[in-house]
Structure 1
Amino acid sequence: MLEQLRDEFPDVTSSKVRFLEAQGLVAPERTPAGYRLFRDEDVERLRYILTAQRDRFWPLKVIREALDALDHGRPDPGAESGQPPPSTPVSDPALLRAATLSPRGRVRVTGPELRQASGIDKPLFSALESFGLLRADATGHFAAEAVDIAVAAKRLAEHGLEPRHLRPFRTAADREIGLVDQVLATRRGNGSREERTAEILSACIALHAALVRTGLTR
Structure 2
Amino acid sequence: MARTAASSRASGQEPLLGIGQVLARLQPEFPELTPSKLRFLEEQRLVSPARTAAGYRKFSPADVERITVVLAMQRDHYLPLKVIRTHLEAIDAGETPALPGATSAAAFLGAARRLRREELIAEAGATRALLDDAVSASLLPAAEHYGDEALGVLRSLVALRGVGIEPRHLRGVRAAAEREAALVERAIAPSRRADASDKARAAEQGRELAGHLETVHSSVVRATLSRLAR
For Structure 1 versus Structure 2, the TM-score category normalised by the shorter chain is: 0.3 to 0.5
TM-score relative to the length of structure 2: 0.44
Structure with greater helix percent: 2
